Amino acid sequence: MRMRFLVTGGAGYVGSHMVLALLDAGHEVTVFDSLRTGHRAAVPEGARFIHGDLADIPLLDNVLADGPWDCVFHFAALSLVGESMQHPMMYMLANGALGFGLIDACIRNGVGKFVFSSTAALFGSAGNELIDEETPVHPGSAYGESKYVVERALYWADRIHGFRSACLRYFNAAGCDPQGRAGEDHKPETHLMPLVIDAALGRRGELTLFGQDYPTPDGSCVRDYIHVSDLAQAHLAVLPLLEERSVTYNVGTGRGNSNMEIIRAVEKVSGLPVPWKLGDRRAGDPAMLVASPSLIMRETGWKPHFTEIDQTVETALAWRKAHPNGYAD
């Protein structure tokens, strides 16, 4: 059945891949984005685009009043952990307060379902244990806290207004659309995989690996890299559950790759050496952050398609080669 969706932040990295997944499934999609960090060129043909800021409540009300909307997918956010520790109130306002305003506008305009792009930054270090939904929430940054307060707002919106939501806590989003229709273009780029790829392609200087004395097999940090297209499919998979209840899931692959393994995978896939040097540990970097995705897999039937890191690297490398200047190309 063809459905109608609003995607905030749909011109960003994960949001644009969500838009593609919705269009591929035959749905009608409207993107609402300020282009503060997103790219107009990332919005595919077939999606309606509205240039707007979530702080513009009259515009937001006009858009939401033009219903009915089957669901709102909320991706619009600031997402740099380091920046959030320098400007915490900027993050609490941009992610927290504007998230509250969007939820309130949805309720006011009769929207009943909401899927929220949350984060694994809610969790502190869990040692070598997989992180499931019962792991205590302990944000280590203002960014993580700004996401968690929106989760709490959604809890109360459901309890008081029956506003159904899914909070999807992503681990490390990586890769690009396998068909090359969307990719990763952050300014500045902070994600490890594109940084390693750019180092291999000679587009940046020597890469710094922060710490190699962690209690992991090779001494470097271990993270769960979930392909961005698999993330988009997880959003689709939770929609039927919202007919009955709100849900919260950790979304990852259930397996980790170390920083050194990412370097080796890029070298293998590209056939190019990656210049790198060892740097000091970064404060606050846990040794290991890996999801237990068993709950979402059991309750929705979703499972990741990209299960090997080389597959994810291949899609990311193809995008970087085809778009050396990102969406400016």
Residues with catalytic roles = 143
- Number of helices (H) and strands (E) in the chain: give both, helices first: 11, 14
Q: Which helix (H) or strand (E) holds 260?
A: helix 259-270
Q: 316: which DSSP letter?
A: H
Contact present, 225 and 253 (Cβ < 8 Å): yes
Structure tokens at 49: 């685009």
Structure tokens at 286: 């846990």
CA separation (Å) from 97 to 91, 104, 206? 9, 11, 39
Round to whole Å and give the CA distance between 259 and 211.
10
Round to whole Å and give the CA distance between 110 and 130.
38
Query: Is residue 286 reached through a cis peptide bond, with omega within 30 degrees of 0 on the bond before it?
Result: no
Looking up tokens 């397996």, which residue turns up?
255
What is the three-class DSSP state of 3?
Answer: coil
How many other CB atoms sit within 10 Å of the CB of residue 246? 20
How many other CB atoms sit within 10 Å of the CB of residue 282? 12
Round to whole Å and give the CA distance between 120 and 290.
9
Closest of 114, 109, 110, 112 to residue 150, by C-alpha:
114
Q: How far is CA 48 from the centre of its chain?
A: 22
